[in-house]
Amino acid sequence: MYFCSMNFVYPYKKRSEEFELIHSIRWIRMSFPLANVYVVGDYFPDVIHIPCKQFNNIRGCDVTNKMLTFANQIGGKFIYMNDDFFCTPNLKPEHPIYKGNLIINELHPPHYQTAAMNTLEFLKYYNRPTLNYETHSPVLMDSKRLIKTFEQVNWKDDNHFIKSIYLNSNIPKKSIEGFNCKINSSNIPTALQYLDVHGCFSTGKAFLDDAGATWIKTLILPPQP
């Protein structure tokens, strides 16, 4: 896949600390110098900004609204990002990562359980697969397909998983069974392993200790050949 004209799109709500987003974008620009970086939501400097007010206080609804705003205003294919995703030229977002099937896990917080329940309800109603694409990794989306899919979803009222709904409804040519790419400990070797295998990883709070933060902000990546 060629990223020279690809759009990387972040749903964004302003926070007091922007370390992850600043360096997530820096990694994209090192790895894919000709790609476009969009932020949909609050203003963020030095990117293409698409203003979009917060839809409501439910994260899934707000994120879906922002991705649909991009799809309607810009269109085409794009890579869905979060501010804690870090990517290298090994990234293959057209081959999304899944980990088993989506389940309602009582160990997860209530809002996550609600999102899983609503996502499963939709997928089962339309007789779709129920693969768990909530692996904290970027994925490729097509704007027309995203709009068409979410015309069938009552997405405005309750939490849900945009990636698992989209990818189980628009089955990719190839998905990769892997692991959750979020690292919830100070573990640079694991990050390097994930980057080698999948071209991405995601930072949990514990990763951003002094060593992890220094590694993220000083790493130099060769661009995509």
Domains (range + CATH), the chain: 7-86+95-218 (3.90.550)
The angle, 0 to 180 degrees and rounded to 10, between the axes of the packed helices 162-169 and 110-125 is 20
DSSP 224: P
Alpha helices (H) along 40-183: 59-73, 110-125, 143-150, 162-169
- Collapse the DSSP code of 140 into the 3-class scheme (helix H, G, I; strand E, B; otherwise coil) and give the result: strand
Q: What is the pLDDT of residue 222?
A: 80
Compute the distance between CA of residue 94 and CA of residue 199 in angstroms, rounded to an integer: 12
**Nearest Cα to 78, choosing from 14, 133, 32, 134?**
32
**Count of alpha carbons within 13 Å of 138, Cβ hemisphere only?**
34
Compute the distance between CA of residue 97 and CA of residue 133 in angstroms, rounded to an integer: 6
What does the CA dihedral 95, 154, 123, 102 come to, rounded to 10 degrees?
Answer: 70
**Nearest Cα to 163, choosing from 107, 211, 115, 198?**
115
Q: What is the pLDDT of residue 145?
A: 98
Compute the distance between CA of residue 213 and CA of residue 219 in angstroms, rounded to an integer: 10
Please name the residues in contact with 189: beta carbons below 8 A apart, sequence gap of 6 or more. Answer: none
What token pair was written down for 101? 């099937």
- Per the CB < 8 A criterion, the answer to whether 82 and 161 are in contact is no
Alpha helices (H) along the chain: 19-31, 59-73, 110-125, 143-150, 162-169, 188-198, 210-218
Q: What is the pLDDT of residue 221?
A: 81
The low-confidence residues of the chain, meaning pLDDT below 70, are 1-4, 224-225
- Per the CB < 8 A criterion, the answer to whether 87 and 31 are in contact is yes
Identity of residue 127? N
